[in-house]
Chain A
Amino acid sequence: MPRVEFRSRPRTVFVRLITDSFTRQPRRKLLTTVALALGTAIATATLTVALDVGDRLAREFRTLGANLRVTPEADTLPLEIGGVDYRPVDSGVFLSEAQLGELKTIFWRNNVIGFAPFLDIPIVITSVGNGDYLKSYPNPNDPALRTTLIGTWYRHNVPVPNGGGVFSTGVASTNPGWQIEGRWFSDDSAEAVLGSNLAHRGAIKTGQMLEIRAGDARSQLIVTGIISTGGPEDDAIIAPLVIAQRLSGKAGQYRQLLVSVLTKPEDAFSQRDPKSMNPAEFDRWYCSPYISSISRQIQEQLPGVTVRPIRQVAEGEGQILSRVQALMWLVTFAALLAAALAVASTAGTTVLERTAEVALMKALGARRRLVGAFFLGEQWFMAIVGGLLGYVGGRGLAYTLGQHVFGVSPSTRLILLPVILGLAAAVATAGSLLPLRRVMQLDPAPALRGE
């Protein structure tokens, strides 16, 4: 017998069958791979953009204002008319600002992008002037001069407990969309910004000095800017929190806290009462950035408070985000469905072409399941190749979409790669089900007779 030379290849026959079939008969398999690559490219692009758009839109929404209001649990009802709080300075319950750093220790602390404490006190403007000359108003009881001083932080450094460093926050973070002429006050100065309506009524300009009175306490403030928010702030004076605390005698205290948090849209699950959830459901709810679960975490961290979502903001955001994401999912589904149909078409033709090959395998003693596994293995091999190509192409498409539609480059999310490969395998499997059934049920004798 002649000496036989052969190449030693450790691959199993199963792998050889699949890879040799792919490399030596590539034409129709290329069609399937391209269909899968196109479908997964669109899926990659839409999922990348959808995931980024959620964050991006949520951050944009946050420029419109806070979405959570924290008030003392036992507070009296506010008595606001036209933005003016008519409650006596010493009525109601107050909260301590010393605890505010705790907000950055909750489970979803990174989603808390800002907060600002507020202390509103009714005041009267007694005089206004330039430098050392103040002109008193003839009638200090004139209702036009009665207003609210809103004490808050513009940009304040809050120490975070447990070595969390310092968190800079205030209305600069919670309300970056407020328009101001001039500049904001410094939190440690006797400065204020005036609401545009109030400034117009009192003919007060930036740079002037105001003298105000709250009960017997008086203060002088330099106007650094005129603010226009479209809300009750337009009729008020906004000043550093410490000034409001001094005028009201409530050092280190505030009455209301507005918090800006990044959340995911509410859904049926998030709206369930947590008390009705089993432990697994509760964990899932608690570990999801729903506005309700974050509210709960804030309430746990700041005892004695009530946390309520600002519904108009939260619900509007939720609806827009839900619709954008639903659109993205729809596009993804349509792309994958089209890919599955293309796979089904080519797989059906392939099975017809390879009837004799399948019949031969069965004649040689291959079990039906093994023949099915060969066929499905080929489809999955193409799914992996197509999925990888689709992921790379989809990244480029997402970059273009993100730049042109949202003006931002989506971040690379490697977590999407296994998801996309899984989707490609699922699409390949779904598209192959009918041809696979035909392969497994094929009767070899007629096929080998050429019938």
Chain B
Amino acid sequence: MMAALVQVEDISKTFGGVRALDRVTFEVCSGEWIAIMGPSGSGKTTLINILGGLDRPTSGRAIVDGLNVGTLGERELTRYRAEKIGFIFQHFYLVPYLSAVENVMLAQYFHSIADEAEAAGSLARVGLGDRLHHLPSQLSGGEQQRVALARALINHPKLILADEPTGNLDEANEQIVLEILRELHRSGHTILLVTHSGEIGRMADRRIELAHGRLMHIVANVT
């Protein structure tokens, strides 16, 4: 058994009077692909945001690569996001006036130093070597998500957090993105992926199922 990269211990999160997460506990080993599943409002995105340092738990601990994310200061949390996490969002969130390669370089710039050649290589890895200088508006949805994937990978993050990455894609593009994720998993990346799709959930090593903020099941997929 590999060491746990992520330890979620008894985490709760309330917004006003609403309990979004209720005493959730689990661990993720390095190199694992975890699918987080559940109906809308079950706390999937809240969990991802806490692990990604975008939100803080109301109680409990979220430890990623030895860091208790909930206790990090503003400055440390910023460094944590830049160095440890690769985000992929359902709505891509590319900067509309920057080209594909510039969008990737943006993540490099916030991490350390922008390197155009390396950013171009990262885009080539997701099959966009010929789209480097296209603006997001000149790319299809699938291509935009692949740019977001290249951006998430460029700083070699410890943990990839993907929040319904195929939610806005057609089937063909969904397969392309999933194939890239499979490839990332095979090369040893740790992935936490939020999805509604049972089919995508079955591609992961394990499924964590949430309902009303509570952890209902952790299911290991048989390959």
Closest to A2 in B: B129
Residues of A within 8 A of B (CB): 1-9, 12-14, 16-17, 20-21, 23-25, 356-357, 359-368, 370, 444-445, 448-450
Given A4-B129, A13-B109, A24-B135: A363 in contact with B52 (beta carbons within 8 A): yes
| Inter-chain contacts of A17 with B (CB < 8 A) | 95, 98, 106
Query: Using a CB-CB cutoff of 8 Å, which residues 83-107 of chain B contact chain A?
Result: 83, 87, 89, 91, 93, 95-99, 101-102, 105-107
Tell me whether B71 is interfacial, beta carbon within 8 Å. no
> What total of chain B residues lie within 8 Å of the partner, measured CB to CB?
44
User: When the two chains form their complex, are residues A364 and B55 in contact, meaning their CB atoms are under 8 A apart?
Assistant: no
| Inter-chain contacts of B91 with A (CB < 8 A) | 356, 450
Q: Which residue of A21, A357, A365 contacts B107 across the interface (Cβ within 8 Å)?
A: A365
| Inter-chain contacts of B82 with A (CB < 8 A) | 364-366
User: When the two chains form their complex, are residues A367 and B78 in contact, meaning their CB atoms are under 8 A apart?
Assistant: yes
Closest to B123 in A: A4
User: When the two chains form their complex, are residues A16 and B102 in contact, meaning their CB atoms are under 8 A apart?
Assistant: yes
Tell me whether B74 is interfacial, beta carbon within 8 Å. yes
Tell me whether B120 is interfacial, beta carbon within 8 Å. yes
Residues of B within 8 A of A (CB): 45, 49, 52, 54-55, 74-75, 78-79, 81-83, 87, 89, 91, 93, 95-99, 101-102, 105-111, 114, 116-117, 120-121, 123-125, 129-130, 132-133, 135, 151
| Inter-chain contacts of A1 with B (CB < 8 A) | 121, 124-125, 129
Q: Which residue of B87, B129, B130 contacts A364 across the interface (Cβ within 8 Å)?
A: B87
What 8 pairs across the A-B complex have the smallest Cβ distances? A365-B82, A24-B97, A13-B109, A445-B54, A365-B110, A365-B81, A4-B120, A360-B93
Closest to A1 in B: B124
Given A2-B124, A361-B106, A363-B52: A7 in contact with B129 (beta carbons within 8 A): no
CA distance A5 to B124 in the complex (A): 10
Closest to B97 in A: A24
Given A9-B116, A24-B135: A366 in contact with B105 (beta carbons within 8 A): no
| Inter-chain contacts of B96 with A (CB < 8 A) | 24-25, 357
User: When the two chains form their complex, are residues A20 and B54 in contact, meaning their CB atoms are under 8 A apart?
Assistant: no
